[in-house]
Amino acid sequence: MVKKALLGQVADTEIRLLRIFKAVVECGGLSAAELELNIGRSTVSRHVKELEERLGLVLCRRGRAGFALTPDGQRVYDGAAQLLDAMEAFRSGVRDMHAGLVGTLSIGLFDKTVTNPGAHIGEAIRHFRRRAPEALIDVTVGTLSDIESRVMDGRLHVAVVPDHRRSDSLDYEHLFGETMHLYCGRLHPLFEAGHKDLSWDELQDYDYAGLAFHSPNMEATHRFRLRRTATVSDQEAVASLILSGCYLGFLPDHYAASFVAGGLIRKVESPPCSYEVQFVAISRRSPTPARLTATFMEALRLSHQA
């Protein structure tokens, strides 16, 4: 029986076991973690069991029914993620003190920015790589709320997102904009119809798909009083629902262009229903950004200053 660790003490052994447990959770089970950790399933299982014994807690259920965290396991995972992130931040800070631009830069991106001609994120990455050729880059694409929360708690260093409600804990740097138009699919009743005589009341009678979180999209939904009967998390989901012919939805003009060219969707021309979105780079205001973060923010500014 492994002796239980003293409360409040975390030694190298516990750190190693927490890393393994974190990988198991993020991979979704012991078998999936084999490749990530490059150790056998039985060894992974033994390490998880050892961590449970040291903590005196049951962290997960594993067996024929599959892998599932217990409530205690979820709390340990959340705490382990914060601890390991803090350790990485500490190491990054020490490396920063030694002049070299090394370490991992974690970037968050809102979806469907790559087709925006005003977005020069690739150019910014190229500038950054010239300054920091030894740095590693980790890119996450996610929802607005998820990306913002990851920047606030330090899991992401920099993110490019639509500008909406601002937080006092973040710094903002304007980068580019895009126009959002309302579209209908080829199978929708409005696709073959003329729009010039379409009234607001008639438009508001059609089913509409919109983002489910606070965003410029949600603000436009309320402003135009559209009847949202489907909620989505990203632009691709909006496009899928528009293509079904059952829903109207907003898409960026640059992303919608290929669907329009293929005759799959068309813009609802009237009544005028569009809005502008400004994109910003965000980073934590405190603590002071690490050199990798500051270097990438400067690369974003240079790439978008025109």
pLDDT tens-digit map of 178-187: 999 999 999 9
Percentage above 90 pLDDT, the chain: 58
Here the CATH number for the domain that contains residue 105 is 3.40.190.10
State the average pLDDT for the chain.
89
- 3-class SS at 78? helix
For residue 191, name the pLDDT band (cuts at 50, 70, 90): very high
- 3-class SS at 101? coil
| Same domain as 238, residue 299 | no
- 3-class SS at 172? strand
Class of residue 115 by CB neighbours under 10 A (exposed 0-12, middle 13-18, buried 19+): middle
Given a contact cutoff of 8 angstroms between Cβ atoms, the answer to whether 215 and 233 are in contact is no
Structure tokens at 178: 């895009």
pLDDT value at residue 252: 95
Q: How far apart are CA 43 and CA 39, in angstroms?
A: 7
For residue 86, name the pLDDT band (cuts at 50, 70, 90): confident
Q: Does 95 have pLDDT greater than 70?
A: no
- Cβ-defined contacts of 187-191 (< 8 Å, 24+): 187/244, 187/245, 187/246, 188/242, 188/245, 188/246, 188/247, 188/248, 190/248, 190/268, 191/245, 191/265, 191/266
| Same domain as 200, residue 147 | no
Given a contact cutoff of 8 angstroms between Cβ atoms, the answer to whether 209 and 232 are in contact is yes
For residue 88, name the pLDDT band (cuts at 50, 70, 90): confident
pLDDT value at residue 97: 57
| Same domain as 66, residue 142 | no
Q: How far apart are CA 208 and CA 226, in angstroms?
A: 7
Query: What are 126-176's pLDDT values in tens digits?
Result: 999 999 998 999 999 988 888 998 999 889 999 999 998 888 889 999 999
Q: How far apart are CA 50 and CA 20, in angstroms?
A: 11
Minimal CA–CA distance to 25: which of 103, 79, 104? 79
| Same domain as 181, residue 162 | no
| Same domain as 229, residue 170 | no
pLDDT value at residue 189: 95
| Same domain as 112, residue 256 | no
Q: How far apart are CA 19 and CA 144, in angstroms?
A: 28
| Same domain as 184, residue 102 | no
Q: Does residue 300 lie in a domain region?
A: yes
Is the peptide bond preceding residue 271 cis, with omega within 30 degrees of 0? yes
For residue 2, name the pLDDT band (cuts at 50, 70, 90): very low
Q: What is the pTM of this model?
A: 0.66
pLDDT value at residue 8: 54
Here the CATH number for the domain that contains residue 223 is 3.40.190.290
For residue 249, name the pLDDT band (cuts at 50, 70, 90): very high
Taking the alpha carbons at both ends of the chain, their separation in whole angstroms is 65
pLDDT value at residue 96: 61
- CA geometry: angle at 214 spanning 210 and 217, to 5°? 40
pLDDT value at residue 6: 46
Q: Are strands 265-267 and 170-185 parallel, antiparallel or unpaired?
A: antiparallel
Domain of 214, in residue numbers: 177-278
For residue 63, name the pLDDT band (cuts at 50, 70, 90): confident
Minimal CA–CA distance to 81: which of 130, 129, 133, 15? 15
Average pLDDT over residues 75-101: 78
Q: Does 1 have pLDDT greater than 80?
A: no
Minimal CA–CA distance to 293: which of 88, 81, 86, 101? 101
| Same domain as 55, residue 22 | yes
Query: What are 12-27's pLDDT values in tens digits?
Result: 888 889 999 998 998 8
Helix axes 235-243, 253-261, angle to 10 degrees: 30
Q: Does 117 have pLDDT greater than 90?
A: yes
How many domains does one find in the chain? 3
Query: What are 273-288's pLDDT values in tens digits?
Result: 999 999 999 999 888 7
pLDDT value at residue 93: 67
What type of residue sits at position 149?
S
Q: Does residue 16 lie in a domain region?
A: yes
For residue 9, name the pLDDT band (cuts at 50, 70, 90): low
